[in-house]
Amino acid sequence: MSLPFRTTFKRMSLEERARIAGHKGSATSGRRRTPKKAMKVRILEAQRGLCLYCDMEIGSQITRDGKPVTLRINWDHFIPYSYLAHNPADNWVAACHV
């Protein structure tokens, strides 16, 4: 399975991605919601369980500051305009919390 917007996304630099999606330093607003369970499953399948930004497997272990850390899932509200045109309602992506 492939996501058209993901391919486009891949060609952007990390900086661009972060700016567009607000991955880093997104001051979490209190109104943040998460997608429905069925949608989460679908998104994870589409992303093959990988973080959209860094391609690391969600749930896998990394080492940070010398300590093992498990990557937790973080649901980002992401609105790429090309993607939005096809899926007006579904604009969630799975990202790690790091």
Is residue 44 close enough to count as binding Zn ion by CB under 5 A? no
- Where does this chain touch Zn ion (CB under 5 A) — which range of 5-13, 37-45, 48-56, 75-83? 48-56
Cβ closer to Zn ion: 39 or 98?
Answer: 98
Cβ closer to Zn ion: 53 or 83?
Answer: 53
> In this chain, which of 9, 53, 78, 83 binds Zn ion, going by CB under 5 A?
53
By CB under 5 A, the residues from 57 to 96 that bind Zn ion are 96
Which DSSP string corresponds to 36-93? Answer: -HHHHHHHHHHTTTB-TTT-PBTT-EEEETTEEEEPPEEEEE---HHHHTT-SS--EE
- Report d(CA 14, CA 45) in Å as an integer: 23
Chain residue whose CB lies nearest Zn ion: 51
Give the C-alpha distances (Å, rounded to integers) separating 91 from 58, 59, 62, 65.
19, 22, 27, 33
Q: In the bound complex, what is the minimum distance in angstroms from residue 98's beta carbon to Zn ion?
A: 6
Name the residues that contact Zn ion, by CB under 5 A.
51, 53-54, 96
